[in-house]
Chains A and B, each alone.
Chain A
């Protein structure tokens, strides 16, 4: 059966409350019942002991000491609270009985023990009866004493109570059901609000938030948790959106240049020189696009996950030399000079191929943005289980403002100065991502027209050679 949360809460509550109410009703009835009967039994017992006081037990028989008592008023009446007394011999023959019994007898129940209370009947009306055995000192049964009182009134009280309780029970349950249902409805109403707000939020309209309830309760926590989640999704989507729009801009520009150049070229016959020049330009542009696509794939492949990285201890110097080897031609072309100093035996725990891309991006930037003939300084140092690597150039540098944006995707510091370089603005955001993945801390300092310092701090590793 599929019930709404509201009805489910109401039903659970109802079941528990119904059980409790039933328990209370049964207890009430039991207590009343017991009290009524105890009271009757007490009266019967008092009457019986009074009668027994007047009985003198002889050896084989008993006699009544005060026969006058039998004529008391209460024993003569039938109507108002009468008490019936009857004495019988051991064979069950009535020896003496109160006048209010008239021509009926109280019934003797042979099986009853020395003193027993039970319900019986006297000419059709219910009575409460006490039956006692009159015995001599040897325990021989000499006769029976039977005392009885009408039960009608007490039975009526109990009967009425029973009816009231039985009728009240379902009524109470019904009322409880509606009350709990409305309470449950009220207490989950904020959830409905959360649902309706959440329904309005979709991809294009992510700036809506669930209104927080004024009380700092579970619902407040639920709402603020969902809001936090929405914040994170919105941020991620915004980043993704910006990346997509940046990427499309970066791809559209070279495509537009290629398309336009080729279209103009095809408008009429040209000289061989012209074709050669344009072909070289187009090839260059295609290469740039291909580099851009590679880098974009690299960025998206490792977006936020270390899956596929394999960490090993490698000498930092080995990676640096590998990169310098690859950039050898660019360095030589610019007549640049690279010095390496410091702890050349330091090991770092990294993914070697990732570190290579990272170093290659930083060092090629240093080469790209430096003047001809200037020098690049690389220094390795270690302290307290960390290894640091400084890469310093004497290039065009950056302003404080530019440093803040340098790790942004597609950011290129001051276009007017970097137009002639072939970067696409992804290099340093790749550096940032790869560094984050490998827990490498990167710090940039730069002064315009003096140069830039990159300091990489590698994570602590107890196995590092000191």
Chain B
């Protein structure tokens, strides 16, 4: 899951990036509205966190522009404005949710998850054959055995299972699992796929992640 944060205050942007990355999100930060909108339109994000009052185009303006092409990507406003009118105005201009500064990080996290869940369906568990991913506790089981995954491996597996049966190109994987600083080199995916296969297949025979030669990878329920 990849998130774009548009926030000009470095103190806030820093902890958001740090905290969200620790929660297995890929996070990009833009420090003004113009950059933010450009990044949002060029890259493929699963959620946008936008500060209302940023230099350049305001958060409202960015949301309006972004909504034209992306009606279904959730946008959450972060703002120090706190009147009812502001909240209503913010929500009416296209935001899915609105959180007032100063906010609790746990609350923000919960709201982000709600928005992502609303989009992908009410899932707290993902299943692929006998692999079960608990999205709340970040624990993964294959049958009875618990599998320990690193945050990056977890994100990669989550992305593949969410798109199971569909081919995921290297570019899409990079865009959703890694943040913007990784776009130079897609070979890192192959390394992580190898780690994942080793951990998942440990003791079991079925290969759940198939290579689609020259394109990318695909998660499958059963080997064909």
Contacts and interface: CB of A to CB of B under 8 A. Distances in A.
A256 B55 contact: no
Interface string B9-22: 11110111011001
Interface string A248-262: 110011111111110
A253 B55 contact: no
Given A256-B101, A419-B31, A249 B12 contact: no
B11 A257 contact: yes
A263 B105 contact: yes
Contacts, number: 73
A253 B15 contact: no
A258 B15 CA distance: 9
Interface string A420-451: 00000000000000000000000000000000
B192 to A, nearest CB: 23
B159 to A, nearest CB: 23
A416 B55 contact: yes
A105 interface: no
Interface in A250-283: 252-261, 263-264, 267-268, 281
Interface string B57-68: 000000000000
Given A252-B101, A414-B55, A416-B55, A260 B10 contact: no
Contacts of A255: 101-102
Contacts of A248: 80, 82
Contact of B11 (A267, A281, A414): A281
Q: Give the most central of B22, B56, B104, B105: most A CB within 10 Å.
A: B105
Nearest to A278: B15
Given A249-B80, A260-B16, A263-B106, A254 B11 contact: yes
Nearest to B52: A249
Contacts of B103: 256, 259-260
Given A254-B11, A415-B55, A260 B80 contact: no
B8 interface: yes
Q: Give the most central of B15, B18, B32, B106: most A CB within 10 Å.
A: B15
Q: Give the most central of A252, A256, A281: most B CB within 10 Å.
A: A256
A408 interface: no
B166 interface: no
Q: Give the most central of B32, B53, B102: most A CB within 10 Å.
A: B102
Contacts of A253: 9, 11-12, 80, 101
A419 B16 contact: no
A43 interface: no
Nearest to B54: A415
Contact of A264 (B10, B19, B55, B81): B19
Q: Give the most central of B10, B11, B14, B106: most A CB within 10 Å.
A: B11
A260 B55 contact: no
Interface string A392-435: 00000000000000000000001110010000000000000000
Given A252-B80, A267-B19, A415-B55, A257 B104 contact: no
A260 B32 contact: no
Interface in B3-60: 8-12, 14-16, 18-19, 22, 31-32, 53, 55-56
A33 B6 CA distance: 105
Interface string A314-342: 00000000000000000000000000000
Given A252-B80, A256-B12, A416-B32, A267 B22 contact: yes
A108 to B, nearest CB: 108
Given A263-B19, A267-B22, A268-B22, 17 more contacts: A252-B80, A253-B101, A256-B12, A258-B11, A258-B102, A259-B105, A260-B105, A261-B11, A261-B14, A261-B15, A264-B18, A264-B105, A267-B105, A281-B14, A415-B8, A415-B55, A416-B8
10 contacts: A245-B81, A249-B80, A257-B9, A257-B15, A260-B11, A260-B19, A260-B105, A261-B14, A263-B19, A263-B106
What 3 pairs across the A-B complex have the smallest Cβ distances? A257-B11, A256-B102, A256-B101
